[in-house]
Amino acid sequence: MGDTFFNGRFPFIDTSNGGTIDGVIMAASRALEAADENTKVIPGHGKLTDKAGLQAYHDMLVEARARVKAAKDADEILEDIIAAGPLNDMEGWVNPKDDGPTKLFIKTIFDTLD
């Protein structure tokens, strides 16, 4: 799946080349459609997984997008959204020792929302 799947952590989305949260969600959705219970899923980053692992990633992306979108739709500014930590409870996707990727992921979602 290359860089469309970061197993176990928030993805880096290359917005400078047109990447968006919706595009990553679409890539995960299409891969899920093609996968079955015997499929081995090879992420661009992280450990080998299966359809269930890919489903968990997809669900995290959708939930993260919804949380940031709700805050943006409520006219919150990016800095306040980051400070509120809307993704901090997403166990398994957050590295508690380094919030840099989490902040970048929130900013990426915020910047690429329609």
pLDDT tens digits, residue range 76-90?
999 999 999 999 888
What pLDDT, in 10s, does the model give residues 39-65? 999 999 999 999 999 999 999 999 999
Buried b / exposed e along 32-66 (16+ C-beta atoms within 10 A): eeebeeeeebebeeeeebebebbbebbebbeebbe
Structure tokens of 85? Answer: 């930590």
- Taking the whole predicted model, whether its pTM rises above 0.85 is answered as yes
Per-residue pLDDT at 97 exceeds 80: no
Give the pLDDT of residue 98: 66
Give, in degrees to the nearest 5, the angle at Cα 31 between 43 and 48: 25
